[in-house]
Amino acid sequence: MTATHDAQEPSRRDFLYIATGATAAIGAGFLAWPFIAQMNPDRAALALASSEVDLSQIAEGQVVTVKWRGKPVFVWNRTKDQVETAKSVPLSDLPDKQARNENMPGADASDVNRAAKGKENWLVVVGVCTHLGCVPISNSGDFGGWLCPCHGSHYDSSGRIRRGPAPENLPVPPYAFDSDTKIKIG
C-alpha cells in the first residue's frame, strides 16, 4: 500500500473524530437553547403588543392618534361625504394599487378594502409616512387626508398616497371591533 492510498481511505479514527464533533455540536446546541429562549419577550411585553381604543370619544370627522408598538396610529371617524369621496376615486388614479391592509392581504386599494366592512366611516392607519418615516398632519393636503410636511407626500381620506415621493399607502394595522364602541389594534 502507498501513502496516497491510505490518505484517501477513511479509517475508524476518522469516523470517531466526525462522530465526536457532531455530538459536541449537538450538545452545544442543547446547552445554548435556554440562553437563546430567555431572549424572547415575556407575556407582559406581548400584552403591550395590542392597544384598545374607545371609539365613543371620537366625534364625526375627528382624527385621534394613539400609540401601538411605539408607532402613532390614526383612528378617523370619517363623515359620509369623506367616505363617498374616498369610494369615488378610481384605482387608475392611485400610484399604489395595493390596500396594504394586514386584515386583507393582497387586496386592491379601493376604500372598501381599507376600512372595516360595515363600519366604513372608521379608518385606522399607521401614522408614519412611507417615504422617510415622518408623521403626517391630519386633515391636510390636496386630497383631504394627510400631508407629510417634510417632503410633500399627500394622502387622501382613505390613507392612500396620491402625490409626492411616498411609494406606498399608509398601512392598515391588524385590528378588530370588540364592540360598536371599541376596537383592538394588534
Residue 123: name the closest of 70, 179, 53, 69 by CA. 53
Give which of 179, 126, 120, 129 is closest to 150, Cα–Cα: 129
- Average pLDDT by consecutive 10-residue portion of the chain (186 residues)? 61 90 93 87 69 88 89 92 92 90 88 88 91 87 89 91 92 90 88
pLDDT of 49 reads 74
pLDDT of the residue at 8: 74
Please confirm, yes or no, whether 151 is among the known catalytic residues. Answer: yes
Which of the following is catalytic: 5, 131, 151, 154? 151
The side-by-side arrangement of strands in the sheet containing 144-148 is 137-140, 144-148, 153-156, 161-163
The residue ranges of DSSP E strands in the chain, in sequence order, are 51-54, 63-68, 71-77, 122-126, 137-140, 144-148, 153-156, 161-163, 175-179, 182-185
Query: Is 112 in contact with 131 (CB distance < 8 Å)?
Result: no
- Please state the pTM of the whole predicted model: 0.71
